[in-house]
Amino acid sequence: MAKPKGGLGRGLSTLIPDNEYQTDKEPMFVSVEKIAPYENQPRKVFNKEKLEELCESIRAHGIIQPLIVVKKGDIYKIVAGERRFRASLMAGLKEVPVVVKDLSDEEIVQLALIENLQREDISEIEAAMAYKQLSEKYGMTQEMISKKIGKSRTAIANTMRLTTLDDEIKKLIYEKKLSAGHARAVLMLKDEKKRVSFANYIVEHGLSVRAAEKLSAVYEAENEKKPKSPAPPKKLDAHYVRIEDELTAALGTKVNLKPKKDKGVIQIEYYSNEELARLIKLINSVSD
Protein backbone atom coordinates (compact mmCIF):
# COMPACT_ATOMS: atom_id res chain seq x y z
CA MET A 1 0.00 0.00 0.00
CA ALA A 2 1.37 3.41 -0.97
CA LYS A 3 2.13 5.77 1.89
CA PRO A 4 0.46 9.19 2.03
CA LYS A 5 2.70 11.88 0.60
CA GLY A 6 2.23 14.46 3.32
CA GLY A 7 0.05 16.26 5.78
CA LEU A 8 -1.50 14.82 8.89
CA GLY A 9 -2.12 11.54 7.07
CA ARG A 10 1.49 10.65 7.88
CA GLY A 11 0.56 10.58 11.55
CA LEU A 12 3.08 9.66 14.17
CA SER A 13 5.43 8.36 11.48
CA THR A 14 6.22 12.02 10.73
CA LEU A 15 8.47 11.92 13.78
CA ILE A 16 8.69 8.22 14.56
CA PRO A 17 9.22 6.05 11.45
CA ASP A 18 6.89 3.07 11.04
CA ASN A 19 9.65 0.54 11.70
CA GLU A 20 10.56 2.33 14.93
CA TYR A 21 6.99 2.77 16.13
CA GLN A 22 6.26 -0.90 15.44
CA THR A 23 9.02 -1.95 17.82
CA ASP A 24 9.94 -5.61 18.38
CA LYS A 25 9.59 -5.02 22.11
CA GLU A 26 6.18 -5.63 23.62
CA PRO A 27 4.63 -2.58 25.32
CA MET A 28 5.41 -2.61 29.04
CA PHE A 29 2.75 -2.08 31.68
CA VAL A 30 3.41 0.76 34.12
CA SER A 31 1.54 1.77 37.27
CA VAL A 32 -0.62 4.86 36.71
CA GLU A 33 1.03 6.33 39.83
CA LYS A 34 4.34 6.53 37.94
CA ILE A 35 2.84 8.29 34.88
CA ALA A 36 2.34 12.03 34.51
CA PRO A 37 1.35 14.37 31.65
CA TYR A 38 4.16 16.15 29.82
CA GLU A 39 4.31 19.79 31.02
CA ASN A 40 4.31 21.29 27.52
CA GLN A 41 1.40 19.22 26.26
CA PRO A 42 -0.42 21.50 23.75
CA ARG A 43 -3.91 20.33 24.79
CA LYS A 44 -5.08 22.03 27.97
CA VAL A 45 -8.84 21.38 27.78
CA PHE A 46 -10.38 17.91 27.46
CA ASN A 47 -14.02 17.34 26.48
CA LYS A 48 -15.68 15.64 29.47
CA GLU A 49 -18.35 13.86 27.41
CA LYS A 50 -15.79 12.39 25.00
CA LEU A 51 -13.58 11.33 27.89
CA GLU A 52 -16.52 9.44 29.39
CA GLU A 53 -17.17 7.72 26.05
CA LEU A 54 -13.51 6.70 25.84
CA CYS A 55 -13.65 5.53 29.45
CA GLU A 56 -16.55 3.17 28.63
CA SER A 57 -14.66 1.85 25.61
CA ILE A 58 -11.58 1.17 27.75
CA ARG A 59 -13.69 -0.62 30.35
CA ALA A 60 -15.08 -2.85 27.61
CA HIS A 61 -12.00 -3.44 25.46
CA GLY A 62 -8.98 -2.15 27.38
CA ILE A 63 -6.37 0.20 25.87
CA ILE A 64 -5.74 -0.94 22.30
CA GLN A 65 -2.96 1.54 21.52
CA PRO A 66 -0.20 2.06 24.14
CA LEU A 67 0.83 5.47 25.37
CA ILE A 68 4.07 6.95 24.05
CA VAL A 69 6.21 8.12 26.97
CA VAL A 70 9.68 9.34 27.86
CA LYS A 71 11.31 8.42 31.15
CA LYS A 72 12.35 11.29 33.42
CA GLY A 73 13.91 9.82 36.56
CA ASP A 74 11.33 7.48 38.08
CA ILE A 75 8.40 9.12 36.25
CA TYR A 76 7.12 8.35 32.76
CA LYS A 77 6.04 11.56 30.98
CA ILE A 78 3.25 11.22 28.42
CA VAL A 79 4.14 12.36 24.92
CA ALA A 80 1.11 10.92 23.13
CA GLY A 81 -2.02 9.47 24.68
CA GLU A 82 -2.97 11.78 27.55
CA ARG A 83 -6.68 11.38 26.70
CA ARG A 84 -6.32 7.61 26.96
CA PHE A 85 -4.49 8.03 30.27
CA ARG A 86 -7.19 10.30 31.73
CA ALA A 87 -9.93 7.92 30.56
CA SER A 88 -8.00 4.99 32.07
CA LEU A 89 -7.95 6.74 35.45
CA MET A 90 -11.70 7.27 35.18
CA ALA A 91 -12.10 3.57 34.35
CA GLY A 92 -10.15 2.63 37.49
CA LEU A 93 -7.16 1.01 35.75
CA LYS A 94 -4.12 0.51 37.97
CA GLU A 95 -1.61 0.17 35.13
CA VAL A 96 -1.52 0.98 31.43
CA PRO A 97 0.59 -0.15 28.44
CA VAL A 98 3.35 2.20 27.35
CA VAL A 99 6.14 2.38 24.79
CA VAL A 100 9.20 4.25 26.07
CA LYS A 101 10.98 6.44 23.52
CA ASP A 102 14.21 8.42 23.60
CA LEU A 103 13.11 11.81 22.24
CA SER A 104 14.44 15.36 22.37
CA ASP A 105 12.28 18.14 23.84
CA GLU A 106 11.65 19.43 20.31
CA GLU A 107 10.50 16.01 19.11
CA ILE A 108 8.24 15.66 22.15
CA VAL A 109 6.46 18.97 21.44
CA GLN A 110 6.06 18.14 17.77
CA LEU A 111 4.82 14.62 18.41
CA ALA A 112 2.36 15.77 21.09
CA LEU A 113 0.97 18.39 18.72
CA ILE A 114 0.60 16.00 15.79
CA GLU A 115 -0.97 13.32 17.99
CA ASN A 116 -3.59 15.76 19.26
CA LEU A 117 -4.34 17.18 15.83
CA GLN A 118 -4.98 13.66 14.57
CA ARG A 119 -6.94 12.23 17.46
CA GLU A 120 -9.21 15.18 18.23
CA ASP A 121 -9.21 18.81 17.11
CA ILE A 122 -7.40 20.95 19.63
CA SER A 123 -8.53 24.55 19.99
CA GLU A 124 -6.94 27.15 17.75
CA ILE A 125 -5.45 28.82 20.83
CA GLU A 126 -3.77 25.60 21.97
CA ALA A 127 -2.38 25.05 18.48
CA ALA A 128 -1.23 28.69 18.34
CA MET A 129 0.67 28.36 21.62
CA ALA A 130 2.31 25.14 20.43
CA TYR A 131 3.37 26.75 17.13
CA LYS A 132 4.73 29.74 19.06
CA GLN A 133 6.76 27.41 21.29
CA LEU A 134 8.21 25.60 18.28
CA SER A 135 9.13 28.98 16.79
CA GLU A 136 10.54 30.78 19.82
CA LYS A 137 12.06 27.91 21.80
CA TYR A 138 13.26 25.68 18.98
CA GLY A 139 13.90 28.26 16.24
CA MET A 140 11.54 26.70 13.69
CA THR A 141 10.31 28.99 10.91
CA GLN A 142 6.68 29.02 9.85
CA GLU A 143 7.70 27.18 6.70
CA MET A 144 9.41 24.44 8.75
CA ILE A 145 6.35 24.10 11.01
CA SER A 146 4.12 23.97 7.93
CA LYS A 147 6.04 21.03 6.46
CA LYS A 148 6.19 19.17 9.77
CA ILE A 149 2.52 19.63 10.69
CA GLY A 150 1.05 19.34 7.20
CA LYS A 151 -0.76 22.69 7.12
CA SER A 152 -0.15 25.69 4.88
CA ARG A 153 2.31 28.33 6.04
CA THR A 154 -0.48 30.92 5.82
CA ALA A 155 -2.67 28.83 8.13
CA ILE A 156 0.22 28.56 10.61
CA ALA A 157 0.80 32.34 10.50
CA ASN A 158 -2.90 33.14 10.96
CA THR A 159 -3.19 30.75 13.90
CA MET A 160 -0.07 32.12 15.59
CA ARG A 161 -1.58 35.64 15.54
CA LEU A 162 -4.17 34.44 18.07
CA THR A 163 -1.47 34.35 20.77
CA THR A 164 -1.57 38.17 20.85
CA LEU A 165 -5.20 38.23 21.98
CA ASP A 166 -6.31 39.22 25.47
CA ASP A 167 -6.86 36.34 27.92
CA GLU A 168 -10.58 37.12 28.09
CA ILE A 169 -10.88 36.59 24.32
CA LYS A 170 -8.79 33.43 24.48
CA LYS A 171 -11.21 32.11 27.11
CA LEU A 172 -14.13 32.69 24.71
CA ILE A 173 -12.29 30.62 22.09
CA TYR A 174 -11.47 27.86 24.61
CA GLU A 175 -15.19 27.73 25.50
CA LYS A 176 -16.07 27.66 21.77
CA LYS A 177 -18.21 30.78 22.12
CA LEU A 178 -15.95 32.48 19.60
CA SER A 179 -14.48 30.84 16.51
CA ALA A 180 -10.96 31.39 15.20
CA GLY A 181 -12.50 33.23 12.23
CA HIS A 182 -14.25 35.62 14.61
CA ALA A 183 -11.01 36.06 16.55
CA ARG A 184 -9.19 37.11 13.37
CA ALA A 185 -11.91 39.73 12.80
CA VAL A 186 -11.27 40.97 16.36
CA LEU A 187 -7.54 41.23 15.56
CA MET A 188 -8.39 43.83 12.91
CA LEU A 189 -8.96 46.29 15.78
CA LYS A 190 -5.84 48.05 17.08
CA ASP A 191 -7.21 49.00 20.51
CA GLU A 192 -6.97 46.01 22.91
CA LYS A 193 -9.90 47.21 25.08
CA LYS A 194 -12.08 47.51 22.01
CA ARG A 195 -11.00 44.03 20.96
CA VAL A 196 -12.46 42.61 24.17
CA SER A 197 -15.61 44.69 23.80
CA PHE A 198 -16.02 43.67 20.15
CA ALA A 199 -15.46 39.98 20.96
CA ASN A 200 -18.26 40.10 23.53
CA TYR A 201 -20.45 42.00 21.06
CA ILE A 202 -19.95 39.24 18.47
CA VAL A 203 -20.94 36.56 21.02
CA GLU A 204 -23.96 38.50 22.32
CA HIS A 205 -25.34 39.22 18.84
CA GLY A 206 -24.39 35.91 17.24
CA LEU A 207 -22.59 37.58 14.33
CA SER A 208 -21.27 35.49 11.45
CA VAL A 209 -17.56 35.71 10.64
CA ARG A 210 -18.27 37.72 7.49
CA ALA A 211 -20.48 40.18 9.41
CA ALA A 212 -17.81 40.55 12.10
CA GLU A 213 -15.17 41.30 9.46
CA LYS A 214 -17.35 43.93 7.85
CA LEU A 215 -18.18 45.56 11.20
CA SER A 216 -14.66 45.63 12.60
CA ALA A 217 -13.68 48.93 10.96
CA VAL A 218 -16.93 50.55 12.07
CA TYR A 219 -16.51 49.27 15.62
CA GLU A 220 -12.94 50.63 15.73
CA ALA A 221 -14.29 54.13 15.16
CA GLU A 222 -17.05 53.87 17.78
CA ASN A 223 -16.82 56.02 20.93
CA GLU A 224 -15.89 53.61 23.76
CA LYS A 225 -17.76 55.68 26.35
CA LYS A 226 -20.97 55.77 24.32
CA PRO A 227 -21.09 52.52 22.43
CA LYS A 228 -23.50 52.32 19.56
CA SER A 229 -24.68 49.34 17.63
CA PRO A 230 -22.69 49.39 14.38
CA ALA A 231 -24.83 49.62 11.28
CA PRO A 232 -25.08 46.33 9.45
CA PRO A 233 -22.71 46.13 6.47
CA LYS A 234 -24.03 46.46 2.96
CA LYS A 235 -24.46 43.04 1.43
CA LEU A 236 -22.25 42.28 -1.53
CA ASP A 237 -23.89 40.96 -4.66
CA ALA A 238 -23.50 37.16 -4.90
CA HIS A 239 -21.29 37.66 -7.96
CA TYR A 240 -18.78 39.71 -5.95
CA VAL A 241 -18.95 37.34 -2.97
CA ARG A 242 -17.96 34.51 -5.30
CA ILE A 243 -15.07 36.55 -6.69
CA GLU A 244 -13.91 37.34 -3.12
CA ASP A 245 -13.93 33.65 -2.26
CA GLU A 246 -12.03 32.72 -5.44
CA LEU A 247 -9.35 35.36 -4.83
CA THR A 248 -9.03 34.34 -1.16
CA ALA A 249 -8.49 30.72 -2.18
CA ALA A 250 -6.02 31.64 -4.94
CA LEU A 251 -3.90 33.97 -2.78
CA GLY A 252 -4.20 32.07 0.49
CA THR A 253 -5.22 35.17 2.47
CA LYS A 254 -8.30 37.33 3.09
CA VAL A 255 -9.40 39.43 0.11
CA ASN A 256 -12.12 42.13 0.23
CA LEU A 257 -13.86 43.65 -2.77
CA LYS A 258 -15.28 47.18 -2.57
CA PRO A 259 -17.15 47.72 -5.85
CA LYS A 260 -18.42 51.17 -6.85
CA LYS A 261 -20.42 51.10 -10.07
CA ASP A 262 -17.88 50.29 -12.81
CA LYS A 263 -14.81 50.58 -10.56
CA GLY A 264 -13.72 49.58 -7.07
CA VAL A 265 -10.95 48.46 -4.75
CA ILE A 266 -9.41 45.02 -4.16
CA GLN A 267 -8.05 44.80 -0.60
CA ILE A 268 -5.51 42.01 0.05
CA GLU A 269 -4.56 41.36 3.68
CA TYR A 270 -1.20 40.11 4.98
CA TYR A 271 -0.04 39.47 8.54
CA SER A 272 3.74 39.48 8.36
CA ASN A 273 6.59 40.69 6.14
CA GLU A 274 7.18 37.05 5.26
CA GLU A 275 3.61 36.74 3.99
CA LEU A 276 3.86 40.05 2.07
CA ALA A 277 6.94 38.74 0.26
CA ARG A 278 5.08 35.54 -0.60
CA LEU A 279 2.11 37.49 -2.05
CA ILE A 280 4.39 39.72 -4.14
CA LYS A 281 6.19 36.66 -5.51
CA LEU A 282 2.86 34.98 -6.29
CA ILE A 283 1.42 38.04 -8.05
CA ASN A 284 4.65 38.55 -10.04
CA SER A 285 4.62 34.92 -11.17
CA VAL A 286 1.11 35.40 -12.57
CA SER A 287 2.08 38.56 -14.45
CA ASP A 288 5.21 37.00 -16.02
In sequence order, which ranges of 30-104 are alpha helices (DSSP H)?
48-61, 82-90
Identify the sign of the CA torsion 134, 140, 143, 149: negative
Phi, psi torsion values for 29, nearest 5 degrees? -95, 130
The Cβ-side half-sphere exposure at 60, using a 13 Å CA radius, reads 6
The catalytic residue among 20, 33, 82, 106 is 82
The Cβ-side half-sphere exposure at 283, using a 13 Å CA radius, reads 9
Catalytic (active site) residue 82: yes
Which residues, 6+ apart, have CB-to-CB distance to 172 below 8 Å?
178, 199, 200, 203
Rounded distance, CA 72 to CA 64, Å? 25
Catalytic residue annotation: 82
